Amino acid sequence: MDKAARKGERYFREGRVLWVVKCGEKVFSKVLGTYPYYIEIDMKRGENRCTCPIGRDCKHVHATMKALEEGFYIESTDPSIELNPEMAVDRFFLENPKQGLEIIIKELEYMLDNDESGSEVVRLFRKCFRLLKIYPSEEHFLKIKKDFNEFQRLFGDWALTEYLGEEINEAEKLLSNPS
């Protein structure tokens, strides 16, 4: 086993593969490395691409292949997935909000450490709030609230931080007054 394959297996075991979508012979994934990287694999042609500097046959591709081997993927037959594989992931999250929250919170925590602009973090918070409305979970809310406190520490002077604080308060009310 070469170095990239060993590192890829380690990445998979460490939970760095956020999601994998398989559509026919095409596979798409998102893997957390130095940055979030997007992978495309054409199994029929035996070709792969990654958005990391190496570009192909890297540890991110191997992590994706290990995830596929282990059955950690979403199956889709929608050909538009090739343009936007996250559509299938978002559909899956809506149907499985508990798993969706777990994956988005993992990505949120990663992005808190790596997104200097805060923009992606805000997008992930909003996804969490939408899923909390479907699946009100005290456990997940507490993690999101802890992450928001960190976001507030980093971006406290943003007007947007105040709006996110309002959404945190709404989510807290929802959890304390389930209908």
Task: Answer yes or no: do 76 and 144 share one domain.
Answer: no
For 172, residues 6+ apart whose C-beta sits below 8 A from its C-beta are: 141, 145
pLDDT tens, residue by residue, 25-84: 999 999 999 999 999 999 999 999 999 999 999 999 999 999 999 999 999 999 899 999
Task: Answer yes or no: do 121 and 70 share one domain.
Answer: no
pLDDT tens, residue by residue, 103-147: 999 999 999 999 888 999 999 999 999 999 999 999 999 999 999
pLDDT tens, residue by residue, 83-107: 999 999 999 999 999 999 999 999 9
For 10, residues 6+ apart whose C-beta sits below 8 A from its C-beta are: 59
pLDDT at 177: 81
**CA separation for the pair 174, 154 (Å, rounded):** 26
Residue 90 falls inside a structural domain: no
Domain end, chosen from 50, 81, 112, is at: 81
Residue 136 falls inside a structural domain: yes
Q: What are the φ/ψ torsions at residue 115 (nearest 5 degrees)?
A: -100, 95
- What pTM value is reported for the model? 0.91
pLDDT reading at 154 higher than 90: yes
Residue 38 falls inside a structural domain: yes
Query: In which band, very low, low, confident or very high, does the pLDDT at 1 lie, cut at 50, 70 and 90?
Result: low
Task: Answer yes or no: do 103 and 130 share one domain.
Answer: yes
Residue 66 falls inside a structural domain: yes
Domain end, chosen from 58, 81, 104, is at: 81
pLDDT tens, residue by residue, 20-39: 999 999 999 999 999 999 99
pLDDT reading at 178 higher than 70: no
Task: Answer yes or no: do 115 and 161 share one domain.
Answer: yes
Residue 89 falls inside a structural domain: no
Of 14, 11, 18, 12, which Cα lies nearest the Cα of 88?
18
Distances (CA, A) of 88 to 73, 75, 173: 11, 8, 30
| Enclosing domain of residue 117 | 96-176
Cβ atoms 52, 37 nearer than 8 A = yes
Of 143, 147, 136, which Cα lies nearest the Cα of 170?
136
Task: Answer yes or no: do 68 and 136 share one domain.
Answer: no
**CA separation for the pair 57, 115 (Å, rounded):** 26
Domains held by the chain: number: 2
Cβ atoms 128, 167 nearer than 8 A = no
Residue 122 falls inside a structural domain: yes
Residue 86 falls inside a structural domain: no
Residue 87 falls inside a structural domain: no
Task: Answer yes or no: do 67 and 102 share one domain.
Answer: no
For 122, residues 6+ apart whose C-beta sits below 8 A from its C-beta are: 160, 164
**CA separation for the pair 66, 169 (Å, rounded):** 40
Domain end, chosen from 22, 49, 81, is at: 81
